[in-house]
Amino acid sequence: MANVVIVGGQWGDEGKGKVVDLLCPAFQHVVRFNGGNNAGHTVRFADRHFALHLIPSGILHPACRCLIGPGVVVDPTALLGEITALEGQGVSVRGRLLVSPRAHLVLPGHRALDVAREATRGAGRIGTTGRGIGPAYESRAARTGVRIGLVRRPQRLREAVAEASRELELSIRRHEGAAVPTADEIEAAVAAALSLAPMVGDVSLALAGAVGRGEPIMFEGAQGTLLDLDHGTYPFVTSSSVLAGSAAPSCGLPARTIDGVLAVLKAYTTRVGAGPFPTELTDALGEQIRRRGNEFGTTTGRPRRTGWFDAVAARAAVRWNGIDAVALTKLDVLDDLPEIPIATAYQTGGAEVTEFPDDVADLAEMTPVYEPMPGWRTSTVGITDYERLPELARRYATRLEALLGVPVVLISTGPRREETIVRRIAPLARWIPQPL
Ligand code: IMP
């Protein structure tokens, strides 16, 4: 029994949805602690395919209680849409989902401002998901935001939304040609928020009760370490704290609540949006990996940039998060390749660098130093037993373990839940004593 944080160790889209879904049977509570519907988790089970954005992946497990913490920004229209879509697929949501009253609303004006700013930035754009996430967190920090708890006082909610929308409109109008939300769109957001009222309740209190009863909690991270507002590739980052250390405190629990940190890392690297990406492949090989790995965004459908595994960045992720173990995803995507390089350092101005820089201008000038690993050139699709992996595939995983200093406890060999190698070794065996 353990409380575990699951974080993305790269630039997001590492396959956290599948890993969270796989581990859910070992947890009674699954809580989202950051981001909003900029996240996209794809979960495939048998022939069914679920795309989740705001609701924790635990919702697909009837025994799991799902929570949305105070650090999440909630677009009420998007959340309502997701609830309705899940219910349409036979998944019960109401009664199992608790949303913190402290979570801030993403309003239509936040979305419009996000889109307007990106359009104005032109070539200098961040490549946001256009979901209004940055502006919503700005309102929160500026103390002009609207918290979802106001649904318990509809009149005050309407006033607060009107006031915030007026202020946002001033910012939107600074961008030529930008669309300002209509009164109907704003009213639809208020109506959606009000319909969520029965699901609003004290997440901190609920989780503290779970801790007291010894019921294990999974903290489900969104985005990835290199998109963290403080430690990521600023300004090409998201606007929330992504790191494992923020998980418990942002939910109103002491940091010591956490027993372990599992990072999900893809066997290669992808990134959506702009910003430096040292190991990027802009050639036919990059395209081959994109196609084979189906690297197109769950949220926006954008093609993802692809590249080799970056151990410099991943080592920084280990240090920043306190990662105890790794889930390595999409290993099978590399099956055909004759050689698989791993970046173990960067080269800049004739010097070799082994620490991830704080400034993106420096990062943009760095070229990777690669250690070539031989490819296994045989299918690993669907393998569930570590010993049955081709020897060279095991060598690749072992090399990553050595470079990162933490064990690889899960390996994903296909998109389905059942296409996974679960290694019953420490610390996974300690966190989850029973077989999944
Ligand atoms: P925002 O979070 O929409 O403001 O976008 C900021 C940056 O984070 C952009 O580069 C996005 O592509 C990226 N981003 C946000 N959420 C995700 C995610 O869930 N996966 C991958 N990238 C993301």
User: Which residue among 128, 140, 231, 234 is best mutated to probe the pocket of ligand 1, counting the most ligand atoms within 8 A of its Cβ?
Assistant: 128
The answer, yes or no, to whether any atom of ligand 1 lies below 6 A from the CB of 223, is: yes
Q: Which amino acid is at 320?
A: W
Confidence of residue 46 (pLDDT cuts 50, 70, 90): low
Facing residues of 310 across strands? 343
Query: Which atom of ligand 1 is least distant from the CA of 40?
Result: 19
Instruction: Name the region of 355 (left: φ>0; alpha: ψ -120 to 50; beta: rest).
Output: beta
**pLDDT tens, position by position, 412-432:** 999 888 999 999 999 999 999
Sequence-distant (6+) residues with CB within 8 A of 351 are none
Q: What are phi and psi of 134, to 5 degrees?
A: -60, -55
**pLDDT tens, position by position, 217-246:** 999 999 999 999 999 999 999 999 999 999
Residue with tokens 């802009």: 282
* Residues known to be catalytic: 13, 41
Give the burial class of 17: count Cβ atoms within 10 A of its Cβ; 0-12 exposed, 13-18 middle, 19 or more buried.
buried
**pLDDT tens, position by position, 321-374:** 999 999 999 999 999 999 999 999 999 999 999 999 999 999 999 999 999 999
223 CA distance to ligand 1 centroid (A)?
A: 7
The answer, yes or no, to whether any atom of ligand 1 lies below 6 A from the CB of 264, is: no
295 CA distance to ligand 1 centroid (A)?
A: 14
